[in-house]
A and B are shown apart, each in its own frame.
Chain A
Amino acid sequence: MKDIHIYLSYPFVRYAIVVGILIALCSSLLGVILVLKRFSFIGDGLSHVAFGAVAVSTVFNLTDNMVLVLPVTIIAAILLLKGGSNGKIKGDASITMMSVGAMAFGYLVMNVFSSGSNLAGDVCTTLFGSTSILTLTKEKVILCVILSIFVISAFVLFYNKIFAVTFDENFANATGIDTQKYNLLIAIIIAIIVVLAMNLVGSLLISALVVFPALASMCVFKSFLSVTVSSAIFSVVCTALGLFISILGGSPVGATIVCIDIFAFFIFYLIGKTGH
């Protein structure tokens, strides 16, 4: 307990906790929709696109890589969600194409042009987010907070519309709702979440943050509202726990959080099994 107190006196630890909890909250919100629309892997795919963009901006020595990463990821998200519904290449295949493509391109660019001496370290950090959440600058924290507030308020304000559009797009269309508009909004929210979550768990583990809270909650709860609320709580609690453990024990942040997610998922799974 005393240790925690000492750690909390460091601003970078407080930053990490604030950002971590906000990201956990954001990433859990759209989980249900992504799982049900068979887009579980969109987090993975998009984060690899974001990885490519990070690599390019590192090479160009952009001080603030968000300028490039965020728009590129948003465009990729829109393309993926659009293509998934009516394109010739179906959802999973197009996600795979885009993600491995961006990954290869990003690594190649980093390898050929990078002037940094610690290439392996750079790549590893981007992929696993290892300690980057503990090295956040104040500007980045503020950006994170603003984007999180945008995501959360957009979700709350459009909650009923997002439900109507994802539950039955045909019906929504038939009764005159502009479903395209809301699909676009969902794509933008997903892209922002992915870019944010890269800071926390790195691009390889993002899907865990999106999928586990939703899947666990769906084992136990049956209405959309209860599943959403439960996902949010699940995600925040697991992330906070993971952050503390990794700060105290020195374990990698992303991997620790995901392991706790998995553990909590099994608890929910068992509750769901015995409940029926």
Chain B
Amino acid sequence: MIKCEKLSLGYDGKAIVDNLNFEVSDGDYLCVIGENGVGKSTLIKTLLKLIKPISGEVIYNENLLPTEIGYLSQQQQLLKDFPASVFEIVLSGCQSKVGIRPFYKKEEKQTAKEKIEKLGLLDLMTRSFSELSGGQQQRVLLARALMAGQRLMILDEPVTGLDPEASQNMYDIINELNKSNMTIIMISHDIKVALEYATKVLYIGEHIFFGTTPEYKKSRGMA
């Protein structure tokens, strides 16, 4: 689905990651792990085409459309008093698909409702986003990400700032999605959880590692 060859990443021509090689196939669950500041988020931004790689290239399978990619970022406090209902936010996820058309179609509203139900948010549909708990907010944003894309989900530390219960709930949902054949690329600093669910591991650090989860465990002497 996505293949990266000899990728160097960074800002303003200064590389922070060199010679990154990895491949993601349909149905994979890839966990990207590593210390803070090694360039995990930079990698995600490159995959989302928000920044250009310094050298090397990201090759997308030609049948992977941009409208099949969903994205969930770290929990952010940015516009926390924005007056917006759960439904409005989830619905806005498919904005990239509507093009120039000014209003949403009935089917799109229906899909938004289905996603809200799927993530157990039906009771909260008309509630204001700012009144929800951190875990609920992340689930709303995940529902929005599902509106944006169904095939590949890119998650950047989705459980940061959540309590253990909400985190576990989030991991369960992501695991569910993967089981229903959605490809997952997730950044995490929680190696234990990553190894529990992921099928492949990309470790970014002094020695870059890419391989299946059992291979990673073996290389660390954990198996």
Contacts and interface: CB of A to CB of B under 8 A. Distances in A.
Contact of B67 (A173, A176, A222): A176
A177 B148 CA distance: 11
Contacts of A156: 102
Contact of B92 (A163, A173, A227): A163
A176 B93 CA distance: 11
A142 to B, nearest CB: 26
A221 interface: yes
Nearest to A170: B73
A221 B83 contact: yes
A167 B104 CA distance: 17
A171 B88 contact: no
B186 interface: no
A173 B50 contact: yes
Contacts of B103: 160
A227 B130 CA distance: 14
Contacts of A224: 82-85, 88
Contacts of A173: 48, 50
Interface in A2-52: 32, 36
Interface in B93-134: 93, 95-96, 98, 102-104, 126-128, 130-131
Contacts of B82: 36, 166-167, 224
Contacts of B154: 174
B69 interface: yes
Contact of B85 (A177, A218, A223): A223
Contacts of B79: 36, 166-168
A164 interface: yes
Nearest to B101: A160
Interface of B: 48-50, 66-67, 69-71, 73, 78-79, 81-85, 87-89, 92-93, 95-96, 98, 102-104, 126-128, 130-131, 141, 144-145, 148-149, 154
Interface of A: 32, 36, 156-161, 163-164, 166-168, 170-177, 217-218, 221-227
Of all A-B residue pairs in the complex, the 10 with the closest CB atoms, nearest first, are A222-B128, A223-B85, A175-B96, A164-B95, A164-B92, A174-B71, A157-B102, A227-B83, A175-B148, A174-B48
6 contacts: A36-B79, A175-B66, A175-B149, A217-B83, A218-B83, A223-B84
